[in-house]
C-alpha cells in the first residue's frame, strides 16, 4: 500500500465549514484503493470553532500530526489590531514554521509516495511547495477554487502573496486539481504550459454520513413553508440583500405572508449582517438565524426542509459551494440564486433543478420564488432525481483522486 502525505488546515476537530468534508472523506476512503493517508494539519488552538462530532469519524489508527499554528487575528492581536504581514497570505501563516519540520519528519518516517495539499488556506500550498522542493516527491496541489483573481484578495499585498504561491505551485506541482470545470478552464488559459496537468475533481456528498437519517419529525416549522440555507453567508459572495428585497416586494404584493413562510439561515456566521439587512428590508418576520449544530443533525434538517436555498454571486462563477452536493443528496426541492452562466447553476441544472435566478436580480428572484412556491403547493415533483444524485458521491470523487495520484507517481 502506498502512503500519501495530506496537508490540510480543514480537518477534525475543525467546525464551521463543509470544506472539512473533502479531506475527511478522502482519508476514510483512500485505503480501499491502496493508498494510506497520513495527515499534516494544525494544532486545534488555530481553530475558532471545534467539535468532537467529526473527530469521531476519523478512522482509527489514522496518523495525524497537528503542527504548531496560531490564528493571527485571535491570538496575536492587541485591541483587535495586528501587523498585516502576520496575516499574509492568511491568518495562519505561522503554520508554515511548524508544518515544514513536522512534514519532513513524516516523510522520513512514513516514506510517502506523494504529497497532497489543499486550499482554501493558502499557507497549505506554501507548505506543499516547500516539502516538494526538499523531498523531490510528486505533489498534487488541490486548489479547489481559484486563488489570485481580479479584485481578490482586495489587499494588494495579500494578492501578491496569493499570486506568488500560485505561481510557485504551478511550477512545482506534478498535478493541480480544481473542483469546477470553469476554474480548470480559467487556469488552463492562465498556465497553458501546464494545461495537461490540470484535473477536475468536484466536491460531493458522503453516503455514509446520510446512513440512518430520515426526514421523520414533520415540518421544520409547523404550518409554514421553510426555506433553509445551511452554512456560511459571505457579505459579498453570498449577499442576501437582493433576495430580501424580493421577499419585501412579494410581501407588499400580498403574495407571501410570515404566517406561511420562514427563511432559516443555519450557522451563517454573519448573523448580525443578515438580521440587519432583513430589518432594513422590512422582512425580519420571515427570517431567522440559527446556531451551529452537529453535522448529522444539519443533514437531517436539510432532509426535513421544504426547500433548500443555494446562493452564489456571479463573481464566484468558477466556484460551487460544497454544501450544494449535500443539498442534492438530501433529496429536497432546491432554489438556486446564482448566475445562470456559472458553475453552480451548471451543477444544479445537471441535477434537474429548474428554479434558478441571478442572486442580484430582484425581479427574477421574485418570479422564481413565486414559481417554486406554486410548484410546492401543487405537489409538482421538483427534487433532484435519483440518477442525478448518484453521480455526486464522495466515493466516486475518491476514485478520481486515485487516478490522479497513480498518474502522478507513474509520471
When comparing pLDDT for 356 and 294, which is higher?
Answer: 356
Give the predicted TM-score (pTM) of the model: 0.84
List C-alpha distances in Å: 85 to 88, 94, 167, 259.
Answer: 5, 11, 20, 51
Q: State the residue for C-alpha cell 444524485.
A: 389
Instruction: Report the C-alpha gap between 62 and 371 in whole angstroms.
Output: 49
Instruction: Tell me the average pLDDT of the chain.
Output: 94
Residue 27's pLDDT is what? 98
Q: What sign for the dihedral angle of Cα 186, 146, 163, 115?
A: negative
Residue 81's pLDDT is what? 87
Q: Which fold has domain 2-204+393-410?
A: Rossmann fold (3.40.50)
When comparing pLDDT for 392 and 247, which is higher?
Answer: 247
Instruction: Report the C-alpha gap between 201 and 275 in whole angstroms.
Output: 36
pLDDT bin (cut points 50, 70, 90) of residue 391 is: confident
Q: Which fold has domain 209-390?
A: Rossmann fold (3.40.50)
Instruction: Report the C-alpha gap between 308 and 410 in whole angstroms.
Output: 43
User: Are 2-204+393-410 and 209-390 the same fold in CATH?
Assistant: yes
Residue 54's pLDDT is what? 87
- Statement: residue 381 has pLDDT above 80: no
Which helix (H) or strand (E) segment holds residue 115: the answer is strand 114-118
- Statement: residue 18 has pLDDT above 80: no
Spell out the residues 6+ positions from residue 197 whose beta carbon is closer than 8 angstroms to its own: 173, 174, 175, 176
pLDDT bin (cut points 50, 70, 90) of residue 390 is: confident
Q: State the residue for C-alpha cell 403547493.
A: 377
**Percent composition of the chain: helix, strand, coil (DSSP 3-state, to 5):** 45, 20, 35
- Statement: residue 229 has pLDDT above 80: yes
| Structure confidence by residue, pLDDT tens digits, 309-368 | 999 999 999 999 989 999 999 999 999 999 999 999 999 999 999 999 999 999 999 999
Residue 251's pLDDT is what? 98
- Statement: residue 382 has pLDDT above 90: no
| Structure confidence by residue, pLDDT tens digits, 133-173 | 999 999 999 999 999 998 889 999 999 999 999 999 999 99
Domains in the chain: boundaries: 2-204+393-410, 209-390
Instruction: Report the C-alpha gap between 220 and 300 in whole angstroms.
Output: 10
| Residue 285 in grid coordinates | 418576520
| Structure confidence by residue, pLDDT tens digits, 97-115 | 999 999 999 999 999 999 9
List C-alpha distances in Å: 18 to 85, 87, 107, 303.
Answer: 28, 23, 29, 16
| Structure confidence by residue, pLDDT tens digits, 55-97 | 999 999 999 999 999 999 899 888 888 888 888 999 999 999 9
Residue 235's pLDDT is what? 87
Q: State the residue for C-alpha cell 453516503.
A: 207
pLDDT bin (cut points 50, 70, 90) of residue 234 is: confident
Amino acid at each position: 500500500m502506498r502512503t500519501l502525505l495530506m496537508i490540510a488546515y480543514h480537518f477534525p476537530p475543525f467546525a464551521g465549514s463543509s470544506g472539512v468534508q473533502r479531506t475527511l472523506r478522502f482519508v476514510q476512503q483512500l485505503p480501499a484503493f491502496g493508498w494510506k493517508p497520513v495527515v499534516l494539519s494544525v494544532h486545534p488552538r488555530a481553530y475558532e470553532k471545534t467539535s468532537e462530532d467529526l473527530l469521531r469519524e476519523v478512522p482509527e489508527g489514522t496518523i495525524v500530526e497537528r503542527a504548531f499554528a496560531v490564528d493571527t487575528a485571535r491570538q496575536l492581536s492587541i485591541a483587535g489590531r495586528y501587523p498585516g504581514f502576520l496575516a499574509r497570505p492568511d491568518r495562519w501563516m505561522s503554520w508554515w514554521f511548524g508544518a515544514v519540520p513536522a512534514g519532513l519528519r513524516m516523510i522520513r518516517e512514513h516514506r510517502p509516495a506523494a504529497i497532497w495539499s489543499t486550499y482554501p488556506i493558502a499557507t497549505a500550498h506554501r507548505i506543499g511547495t516547500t516539502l516538494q522542493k526538499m523531498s523531490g516527491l510528486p505533489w498534487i496541489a488541490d486548489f479547489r477554487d481559484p486563488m489570485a483573481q481580479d479584485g481578490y484578495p482586495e489587499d494588494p499585498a495579500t494578492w501578491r502573496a496569493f499570486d506568488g504561491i500560485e505561481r510557485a505551485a504551478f511550477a512545482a506541482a506534478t498535478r493541480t486539481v480544481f473542483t469546477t470545470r470553469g476554474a480548470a478552464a480559467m487556469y488552463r488559459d492562465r498556465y497553458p504550459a501546464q494545461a495537461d496537468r490540470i484535473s477536475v475533481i468536484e466536491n460531493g456528498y458522503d453516503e455514509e454520513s446520510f446512513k440512518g437519517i430520515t426526514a421523520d419529525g414533520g415540518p421544520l416549522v409547523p404550518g409554514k413553508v421553510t426555506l433553509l440555507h445551511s452554512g456560511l453567508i459571505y457579505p459579498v459572495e453570498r449577499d442576501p440583500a437582493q433576495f430580501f428585497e424580493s421577499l419585501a416586494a412579494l410581501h407588499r404584493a400580498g403574495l407571501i405572508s410570515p404566517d406561511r413562510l420562514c427563511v432559516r439561515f443555519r450557522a451563517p456566521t454573519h448573523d448580525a449582517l443578515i438580521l440587519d439587512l432583513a430589518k432594513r428590508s422590512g422582512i425580519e418576520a420571515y427570517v431567522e438565524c440559527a446556531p451551529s449544530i452537529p453535522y448529522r443533525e444539519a443533514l437531517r434538517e436539510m432532509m426535513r426542509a421544504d426547500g433548500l436555498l443555494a446562493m452564489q454571486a456571479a463573481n464566484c462563477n468558477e466556484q460551487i459551494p460544497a454544501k450544494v452536493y449535500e443539498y442534492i443528496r438530501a433529496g429536497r426541492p432546491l432554489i438556486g440564486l446564482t448566475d445562470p452562466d456559472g458553475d453552480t447553476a451548471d451543477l444544479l441544472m445537471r441535477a434537474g433543478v429548474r428554479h434558478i435566478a441571478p442572486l442580484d436580480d430582484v425581479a427574477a428572484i421574485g418570479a422564481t420564488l413565486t414559481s417554486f412556491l406554486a410548484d410546492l403547493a401543487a405537489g409538482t415533483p421538483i427534487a433532484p432525481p435519483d440518477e442525478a444524485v448518484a453521480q455526486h458521491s464522495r466515493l466516486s470523487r475518491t476514485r478520481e483522486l486515485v487516478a490522479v495520484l497513480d498518474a502522478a507517481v507513474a509520471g
